[in-house]
């Protein structure tokens, strides 16, 4: 069996020898010659049905070879038949909701909080004509209705790193497809499709690209479900630019190494944060039967003002997003989750003093010196004994 590091390097490169090249080429064509107009029309019709292959690409909104290579590689890493790439993670989420709910005539979603703030806002906005019931992971079955078209889960959850038992949710969902946002874990640490998920979502902007310089999203799934996603992509124009496809594909080659190195640093930082007097609690995932490692994300609460802690950092970048080679930190209730009502955010386990850190590839001691200095520099009243490290438990 080919191992994941090898798949990450060689996935999506099957046609390179035939092309006579070593590095995947970037096809920037927006249109393609169609000498036989009748055959071109047939190809266009096939693309419109969501097919994966046709006689001619015809037009870049329908198909792009560079993007297709990335899709093949990601599918291999996630153990699915195929994947469909989009211009952003939110475009990918939108396409899944449109395909599973709107096109299927089942406009009800069951979602487990917390989720990425953008996903939460999309589902609760009514913009796509769906209604959403938010429940705890153990109560999914109680919320399923005849018109439920999708169950949405993120694990580890954004931003508090809650772990959700995917197989338990899938059993509760029954015939309703389950979408798992796998952005935090990446396919290196977790493969939701192997636990029954119908859709595996990634914001490729994060770990897949890995360098903070490409925007994209991707959904790994069966070929049958992919056809509907491609239809949505063609109609809405939510395509991934070829350069983005190239950068995401290139990012996959180093993904195992980056995840391993950043996770190693994160584990050490989580232990040190748990012992710090200025820290109220730390949440960091534990290895479980569905995760092969702990990851590079940490959530922690501070006794002092979280905004002031962030302001005093000098090395760590205060910014939204995650999964980059450099360490990023943000205050979720002020930024990524600002549009989720305060009381609902707190009820889902995201207090106002929580900070989310995405550990990068800097030397771990340099990261720690910056964190420690910022924490020590902020005045605070220690209202309760500092909790030991809280390993985020599977629900």
Q: Which residues are catalytic?
A: 61, 116, 181, 206
Distance from C-alpha of 86 to C-alpha of 88, rounded to nearest angstrom? 6
Give the residue ranges of DSSP H helices in the chain: 4-10, 16-19, 37-48, 65-78, 89-97, 117-125, 140-143, 166-173, 186-189, 223-236, 242-274, 306-311, 342-347, 364-377
Distance from C-alpha of 286 to C-alpha of 302, rounded to nearest angstrom? 21
The vertex-330 CA angle with 109 and 245, nearest 5°, equals 65
The side-by-side arrangement of strands in the sheet containing 178-181 is 82-86, 217-221, 199-203, 178-181, 148-154, 108-112, 131-135
The three-class DSSP label of residue 355 is: strand
The three-class DSSP label of residue 298 is: strand
Distance from C-alpha of 228 to C-alpha of 120, rounded to nearest angstrom? 23
Question: Helices 89-97 and 223-236, interaxial angle, to 10°?
Answer: 110
Distance from C-alpha of 28 to C-alpha of 65, rounded to nearest angstrom? 9
Length of the chain: 395
Distance from C-alpha of 54 to C-alpha of 60, rounded to nearest angstrom? 13
Residue with structure tokens 């002031």?
A: 308
């Amino acid at each position: 069996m080919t191992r994941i590091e090898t798949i990450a390097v060689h996935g999506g490169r099957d046609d390179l020898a035939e092309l006579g090249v070593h590095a995947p080429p970037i096809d920037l064509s927006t249109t393609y010659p169609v000498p036989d107009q009748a055959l071109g029309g047939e190809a266009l019709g096939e693309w419109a049905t969501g097919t994966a292959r046709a006689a001619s690409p015809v037009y870049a909104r329908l198909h792009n070879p560079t993007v297709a290579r990335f899709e093949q590689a990601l599918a291999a890493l996630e153990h699915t038949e195929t994947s469909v790439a989009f211009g952003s993670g939110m475009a990918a989420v939108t396409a899944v909701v449109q395909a599973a709910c709107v096109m299927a005539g089942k406009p009800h979603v069951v979602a487990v909080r917390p989720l990425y703030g953008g996903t939460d806002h999309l589902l609760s906005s009514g913009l796509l004509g769906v209604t959403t019931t938010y429940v705890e992971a153990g109560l999914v079955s109680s919320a399923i209705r005849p018109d439920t078209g999708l169950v949405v889960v993120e694990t580890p959850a954004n931003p508090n790193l809650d772990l959700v038992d995917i197989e338990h949710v899938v059993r509760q969902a029954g015939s309703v497809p389950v979408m798992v946002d796998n952005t935090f874990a990446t396919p290196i640490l977790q493969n939701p499709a192997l636990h029954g998920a119908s859709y595996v979502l990634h914001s490729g902007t994060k770990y897949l690209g890995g360098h903070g310089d490409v925007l994209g999203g991707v959904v790994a799934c069966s070929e049958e479900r992919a056809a509907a996603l491609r239809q949505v992509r063609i109609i809405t124009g939510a395509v991934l630019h070829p350069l983005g496809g190239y950068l995401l594909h290139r990012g996959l080659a180093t993904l195992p190494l980056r995840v391993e190195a950043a996770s190693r640093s994160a584990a050490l930082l989580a232990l040190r944060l748990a012992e710090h007097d200025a820290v109220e609690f730390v949440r960091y995932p534990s290895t479980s039967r569905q995760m092969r490692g702990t990851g590079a994300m940490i959530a922690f609460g501070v006794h002092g003002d979280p905004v002031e802690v962030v302001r005093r950092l000098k090395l760590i970048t205060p910014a939204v997003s995650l999964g980059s080679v450099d360490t990023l930190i943000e205050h979720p209730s002020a930024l990524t989750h600002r549009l989720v009502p305060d009381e609902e955010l707190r009820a889902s386990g995201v207090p106002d003093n929580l900070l989310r850190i995405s550990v990068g590839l800097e030397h771990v001691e340099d990261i720690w010196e910056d964190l420690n200095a910022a924490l020590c520099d902020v005045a605070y009243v220690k209202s309760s004994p500092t909790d030991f490290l809280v390993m985020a438990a599977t629900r």
